Amino acid sequence: MKKTDGLVVVTTNYVPGYRVTKVIGATYGIVVRSRGIGGNIMAGLKSIVGGEIGAYTQMLSEARQHAVQRLEEDAKGKGANAIIGMSFDSSEIGQMMTEIVAYGTAVTIEKESKEAEPVSLR
């Protein structure tokens, strides 16, 4: 469970020990990134030899972090204090750009009593 600025973000459909009090709806953060032509040439050369392409790994990691930040901003703007079912998706746009999407369901949650079981949205 990740908690930033009072916002809980989980990949599960519920938060253990909390109950969903309101389902606000879909929330997402999108980032589109491109390597420069020089980076693409170097990556192409590296792909001939094989192995990890560190510059791309770093770029995609940073893009995911940025997408999650936008996801959190979107959810907070909608009045959520949690995001459940958070996930990532990515796709190529042409041969030069990568789109990263972080998405989930914006909800409000409240702590349950210790005896209660977590509520699942299934």
Amino acid making up residue 96: M
Tokens found for residue 39: 């980076």
Residue 62 Cα distances to 32, 34, 56, 111, angstroms: 11, 12, 10, 32
CATH of the domain at 20: 3.30.110.70
pLDDT for 51 equals 66
Residue at 103 is within a domain: yes
Asked if pLDDT for residue 46 goes beyond 50, the answer is yes
CB count within 10 Å of CB 122 equals 5
Residue 1 Cα distances to 6, 10, 40, 58, angstroms: 12, 5, 36, 24
β-pairing verdict for 82-93 and 7-9? parallel
Residue range 75-116, pLDDT digits in tens: 999 999 999 999 999 888 877 788 899 999 999 999 987 655
- Structure pTM? 0.74
Q: By residue range, what is the domain housing residue 33?
A: 2-111
Residue range 8-37, pLDDT digits in tens: 999 999 999 999 999 999 999 999 987 655
How many structural domains comprise the chain? 1
